[in-house]
Amino acid sequence: METNIVTRFAPSPTGYLHIGGLRTALFNYLYARANGGKFLLRIEDTDKARNSNEAKEAILRAFNWMGLDYDGEVIYQSERFLIYQHYIELLLKEGKAYYCYMSKEELEDLRESQKARGETPRYDNRYRNFQGTPPEGIKPVVRIKAPLEGEISFEDGVKGRISIDAKEIDDFIIARSDGSPTYNFVVAIDDSLMEVTDIIRGDDHLSNTPKQILIYQALNFKIPKFFHVPMILNPQGHKLSKRDGAMNVMEYQSMGYLPQALLNFLIRLGWSYGDQEIFSKEEMLKLFNPKDLNTAPSAYNQEKLLWLNSYYLKNLTNDNINALLPLYNEKIPSQKTQDMLYTELKERSKTLQEFVALLRECLLPISVYDEKMKNKLQTSENIHLLKELIIYFKAIKKPIDSTKAAEIELESFASFQGIKPKSFFMLLRFALLGKSGGVSIAPLLAVLEKEEILMRLKNALAILDIT
């Protein structure tokens, strides 16, 4: 077990939290919690023009839904500008940063001339050692003094040793002309002040790491351990789109997915433990180690997620399901309905949405009848059987209060008619559900009130009897 581990998740509230971000949060959470460390949440909301309060709230809702608890209060970068300003001034005072008075026009001219010479556009350090009178009308930016030679190296927990030639990094901006600090600067400051020891993030951040290391070094801060995880790709090997699953995490809840299934799905996108597929949260905490993260990208597999969700759905208790039904605007049904139908509905459903849809099919009056099935059943023999069924159910005195009681009545009717029970099941299914699929007939009869059964039989008769 590692000691004194501190990890963090630091989303920007400029859009929804998608599953790539949630996976990053999960990896950081597991590593901290498994080692008795701290897991921190920081909202990187310095971009006032693009920030969304709705997005901030959605991030917190997603954490609550997924059961990812964090330590202490949420840290908002928008409340820390005085801290950032202090360190900018410190670097200026120590000569590790400087004011750059280059105008936009000068910068554009420089870039065009560099492109014309076939060079990579970059700042040319013209104000690095400037001692003259600042030009009028120019609000300067602040640039850090990057090393002019040597290498910036670090050991990545996923990718191994990474070295970048210092010449590839120019004197990048750490404060804009309006005084606001830039992304890489505030990230390094906050990670250090929050005493973050390990940073697990997507490898789209890999290009930021050398710049952040330079800031750590300039301020004599301890450099954390980095783990850059390959991105999640769609089945075709391209960047995830919303159609592939890169949508708001809370949309997964609306679609009927369970948080434990989504967590299990995400941990397997980039990490494995032998051939094991099913992981409880306790097992994740016991087994996860970022040193075992895959070096290759992972492919999003919708069928795998549905399979996992159906597994966890089948293992929910009736009380578990009842607690979730209000999320889908569904009332908790009677105890008899739960006892008779829940087990079968769970077997037939991959999501809670499907579960609720099947439950409604059973309990609500039929609104649409299958046209092909209607045409197939529209015979004088079936019309006669429906009329006989209505007479038979009217005459039943005892309540049909169990699957066994329903089966006895169906066999009794079949015996009276001199036919096999299966020979009229399709007709009865059409009358009770309006379609060929759905739950078994016997438990459905046990759940429905006698008046509802008779109403459905009569409605079906009216549809089939066109004479």
Active-site residue, from 242, 404, 420, 450: 242
- 242 included as an active-site residue: yes
Strand order in the sheet with 198-202: 160-165, 151-156, 225-229, 198-202
Burial of 7 (0-12, 13-18, 19+ CB in 10 A): buried
Instruction: Please tell me the total number of residues recorded for the chain in this structure.
Output: 467
Hunting for tokens 């990053």 — which residue is that? 24
Q: Which amino acid is it at 204?
A: D
242 assigned binding-site residue: yes
Q: What span, in angstroms and rounded, lies between the C-alpha atoms of 46 and 48?
A: 6
CB-CB contact of 66 with 22 (8 Å)? yes
Nearest to 389 by CA among 441, 325, 323: 441
CB-CB contact of 138 with 103 (8 Å)? yes
Q: What span, in angstroms and rounded, lies between the C-alpha atoms of 422 and 14?
A: 59
* Cα→Cα distances 335→342, 447, 451, Å: 10, 10, 19
**Number of neighbours of residue 222 by Cβ within 10 angstroms:** 10
Q: What DSSP string runs through 9-41?
A: E---TTS---HHHHHHHHHHHHHHHHTT-EEEE
What 3-state class would DSSP assign to 334? coil
**Number of neighbours of residue 176 by Cβ within 10 angstroms:** 13
At 295, list the tokens. Answer: 């070096």
Q: Please report, in angstroms and rounded to a whole number, the separation of the first and last CA atoms in the chain.
A: 79
What 3-state class would DSSP assign to 372? helix
Binding residues for ATP: 242
Active site residues: 242
Binding residues: 242
